[in-house]
Amino acid sequence: MASKYENCPRSVSVTKTVSVYPKILHPQKVLNLSNLDRQCPNLMYLVYFYGPCNAYKGLSLSSVFNSFKCGLEETLAIWYPAAGRLSLNPNDGKLNLWCNNRGAILAEATAELVKISDLGDLTQYCDFFERLVYKPDFGGNFSQMPLVVAQVTKFGCGGYSIGIGSSHSLFDGPAAYNFLSAWASSSSATMMKQNKDSNLEMFKPVHERPTLLLGSSSSNSQAPKEVITNHPNYDHQKTGAAAIDHLLQLIMQAAAEGNLQKSASSVAAGSSDIRKGFVFKTFHLTGAFVESLKRRILQEDGGFSCSSFEVLAALLWKARTKAMGLRKEKMACLQFAVDTRNKLVPPLPNGFSGNAFVLASVALSAGEVEKLGYKAIVEKIREAKDSCNNEYVKAYMEGLQGPQAPLPPLNELTLVSDWTRMPFHKLDFFNGSAGSAFVSPLVPPIPQVTYFMQNPNDHLAIDVRIGLLPQFLNAFSSYFLAATQ
């Protein structure tokens, strides 16, 4: 959605920027990262919107800012790696985490001429949101990049936004949710002058990466960018991790048709340029629709049931593949993130704060994706998910050892990230006085990723946020919405 403030450069004014350090400093040490952590060191951003509310109407921006700052100091004392910096190992060129207490960055800003209500549907992304987050200038040197940044912005209507960025090398989705839960709890307790210790007792993160995730190291590895994409002429043997094998096949398929060169040239132009080429649309699916779609599959086979994620992933894959206009014989692939915390043997400890997700993958011809019913595709999604066991994770980790480069846009690849188990909108930095927030993820490093998110107004509904090139948006909307009728 376009905002009338997108072209107004002075609509947001940063009034203060401070470094925030842990309340209790920890001894400096290097925390070894896993290959899962190293895939994407970039900052991932979320923006929270809290409308004007009588409960904090009398609070000044300075007092709100100080509450967030004190809460972050308390939280960093427990989540101390978040106050560190990434560091390159000079022996193997790999990224690790130097816990050196250098701190996070917190900015204060005002948008006096803007009302939150003027922004329209907050679940629909607009470029104006990018001004509500702090973007550090670190010259591409990840060792200088703060791992957590935030910006508190007060609007003319009295409402607030909180834009938060955290490095994906530090947290995956569940870990980021736990970190933000701890920060919100501590900040709201500070605001309401409550005892913060009792609020933080429930958050006991485990920062050390277990041996299984660390695996063996390779002296030939380079600092990773975002997602593995080996050279298309690489004569590879199967890794045992379907997601990596399928991705390599897709890249070679694109290279054989000359499409990879076009993608590579756009990647070379810079990731920000790639993201600007995409449009982002959120589709609201009611809980009643999701249940009706599951019943439709049940009618195909009376003894078959499926999850909301499985049926929506099948629906998305069919609609997107058709919208791309792929030839029927072309390989098409669906990849989605799977949390391995409870799939590993032994399971990862409760509170594990690193990255524990791998990609599961289903590959079919475009013709098969269009022809097969939902039940058949759901079964393949379930098989791919169930395959993510110890051996798969080991193979996936080994597959990430090789040289890496940014992932080029591939029409044949549908990527899904499921946030429905992480109710970010329920995190309240204002101690319950603000109610549920609206939360919008900003443009991710891989802009074609589709997010499944809880709807803040209907806990059974799911919002589907997708990034597409403009020429595909109308076709996708038509095919996707047709299935919801």
DSSP code at position 403: -
Of 377, 50, 14, 29, the C-alpha closest to 184 is 50
Per annotation, catalytic residue among 168, 207, 246, 425: 168
Residue where the block lists tokens 């549907």: 121
Contacts 24+ apart (CB under 8 A), 315-318: 315/374, 315/480, 315/483, 316/414, 316/416, 316/450, 316/464, 316/466, 316/480, 317/362, 317/369, 317/377, 317/414, 318/369, 318/370, 318/374, 318/377, 318/479, 318/483
26 flagged as catalytic:
no
Six-digit token pair at 354? 């690193």
Helices 470-482 and 308-323, packing angle to 10 deg? 130
Kindly compute the dihedral angle of the four CA atoms of residues 61, 187, 50, 172, in this order, to the nearest 10 degrees: 130
Distance, CA of 55 to CA of 434 (rounded, Å): 8
DSSP 286: -
| Helices and strands in the chain, H and E counts | 14, 15
Q: Distance between CA atoms of 118 and 134, rounded to whole angstroms?
A: 22
Strands (E), 207-257: none
Residues designated as active site:
168
